Structure 1
């Protein structure tokens, strides 16, 4: 009995010694936020707008660093996050649909089960963007040209399984056309090539074209959005359904952590996100992301993604395996 009592006492002391490590979070070092796309793109900018507000809510000692690990439609970043120490000092933004889709079509470097979702940030419709001086005036014009000359128009997307890639797969199927799809490491590069005349169309998220929000005109124009109804961000832009092309595709972005991160840390982060997304100051600073903010708790988002997975599985089953 003395041995058991001594062992229990030792375990109690060891547990007590460990507790301050978690309770001190995030007071002893910076929190890395991993982003799977290049600087200047929508995910990168969202992370950089969000973190100062999270810092304010987590305390003055909380510090965030955004770390860009672009490539493979976010797979490189997701793998890095999955393999990180589960201590709350490495989190990341995951991008749906690629987050779900990539492991369905290849032996990827991560599994969805490797993560614990913290909160969804935005639900952003996919849009078809081109130069303002483009000869194409509508999605119908594009479809007509592709039927006349298959694969004659180039379309940028952010890698296999990204919302742009899957929107193009859906467009090809729904309209019976062949597209020339060009993968990029991020939206900023797509925009650069669009404006430089090296790419005909970018297939990106509405939040990534704030220069077009509210009916503004500039160097770019949006021809269609692949959503059930017109986004508040682009009320003047018709949906694909408006032009009789049945394509729906959105981009969800949210925070995740390695699966074994303690629940109390996840809760602190989730509460900070929820408060931030309701903060008028953040919404004023969020630019193109403000109209597509769509908070869900980690548990709610997990439940929502179960339905997404069923839809994506049907697409993946028809796709060539890598």
Structure 2
């Protein structure tokens, strides 16, 4: 009898110990969320240093560092059309210490590349930050002086009108092919590694036109390049005399919104802290000023709105990719 009582008591203590262990493992996770961040945060972007993505992100990171009380360090991972940061999140700890920029090409990955993750389900959306400004330029001495003449040349010379972009299946490539489809013409795409390379190719006469973010702006202002169109909902404040694709009747608006994500499974409290910090950071005047240098504007979306936007965009990209015949073979 004494032995049975002893074993019963031992079992009771074991149960209490197990409960205590569960409690102890749960408490640190809660404490980590409450005390977050306690070390530097890495912010990975998909484009090269010094460009229209990198410069505003460095201002934003500096602003967020002051709010969060820890350094926010920008890391450049260019290549593959800007999708590498989002892909990295699939093998990153969901602790809030690594954020990634999500660019539009991420949403067409399921239809153009074989991947084993889902851009909607396998990323946790934090905040949308801004949208790009795009435009199409030709050399100043080009005989093509308007967008109408650009289309007319393509009709008269099928497949001979070349244009450069930062890469195949980027938003710029897809939009130019959509433009060709809508206008009933055929262009010839020349992919480059970035806008510094494409600008030199255009200035050197190796390509007839370039579609890109405003890396072309200084050349347009100096008179070396001619801007034929911009792609926003309204005309550019910097180039108010240049028409949009929409007002030219080409039925395209493209600003390619981008924002931040963390790995799936990140504590919602940490996601909220990051959202609040970056929202405050993007509302600071210096961030808006950094965007204005590239003719861009802030474009805020909450975590929930950004997640919905991603789900809607994946569906839209599927339709465009299939329409253009660019979907990967099944």
Deviations 1:161-193 (A, max 9, x none): 322011111111011111111223333332333
Alignment of 1:276-295 (within 5 A): 276-289=281-294, 291-295=296-300
1:225 aligns with 2:233: no
Aligned to 1:106: 113
In structure 2, do the counterparts of structure 1 residues 289 and 125 end up closer, same or farther at CA, with 3 Å as the change threshold?
Answer: closer
Instruction: State the Cα deviation string for residues 254-311 of structure 1 (Å, max 9, x = none).
Output: 1111112221221122112211222123323433357421111121122233333332
Match of 1:5 in 2: 16
Which residue does the alignment assign to 1:321?
Answer: 327
Q: Structure 2: how far apart are the matches of 1:289 and 1:300?
A: 25
Distance in 2 separating the partners of 1:134 and 1:83: 48
Q: What secondary structure is seen at the aligned counterpart in 1 of 2:125? A: strand
Aligned 1:259-298 pairs, distance under 5 A: 259-289=264-294, 291-298=296-303
Q: Does 1:48 align with 2:54?
A: no
- Inter-CA distance 22–46: structure 2 relative to 1 (3 Å threshold): same
Q: CA deviation at 1:233?
A: 4.7
- 1:237 corresponds to 2:242: yes
Residue 172 of structure 1 aligns with which residue? 180
Task: Answer whether contact 1:174 1:247 (CA < 8 A) is retained.
Answer: no
Distance in 1, matches of 2:288 and 2:86, equals: 27
**Uncovered stretches (5+) of structure 1, i.e. residues with no partner:** none
Matched residue, 2:100: 92
Which deviations, in whole Å up to 9, do the C-alpha atoms of 1:222-249 show, x marking residues without a partner? 2112334324454322012333323332
User: SS in structure 2 opposite 1:202?
Assistant: strand
Structure with bigger gyration radius: 2
- Does structure 2 retain, via aligned residues, the 8 Å contact 1:119–1:295? yes
Closer, same or farther: CA 305–13 of 1 in aligned 2, 3 Å: closer
Cα distance in 1 for partners of 2:153, 2:164 equals: 17
Matched, 1:309 2:314: yes
Task: Pick which of 48-57 and 307-316 moved more.
Answer: 307-316
Report the TM-score when normalising by structure 2: 0.85
Distance 1:21 1:238 in 2: 51
Pairwise CA RMSD of aligned residues?
Answer: 2.4
Work out the number of aligned pairs and report it. Answer: 315
Post-superposition Cα deviations, 1:53-76, rounded to whole Å, max 9, x if no partner, equal 1111111xx112222222221233
Q: Which secondary structure state, in structure 1, belongs to the residue aligned with residue 84 of structure 2?
A: helix
Instruction: Specify the alignment match of 1:141 in structure 2.
Output: 149
Find the partner of 2:44 among 34, 43, 67.
34
Q: Which residue of 1 aligns with 2:68?
A: 58
Q: Distance in 1 between matches of 2:167 and 2:117?
A: 16
CA distance in 1 between counterparts of 2:82 and 2:116 reads: 11
SS at match of 2:114: coil
Report the secondary structure of 1:108's partner residue.
coil
Are the aligned partners of 2:81 and 2:169 in contact in 1 as well (CA < 8 Å)? yes
Question: 2:154 and 2:15 mapped to 1: Cα distance?
Answer: 77
Instruction: Quote the Cα distance in structure 1 between the aligned partners of 2:49 and 2:286.
Output: 23
Over 3 Å counting, the alpha-carbon distance change for 1:101 and 1:216 in structure 2 is same
Question: Corresponding residue for 1:16?
Answer: 27
- Mapped to 1, the partners of 2:314 and 2:237 lie a distance apart of 26
CA distance in 2 between counterparts of 1:219 and 1:273 reads: 38
Q: CA deviation at 1:91?
A: 1.0
CA distance in 2, matches of 1:108, 1:233: 40
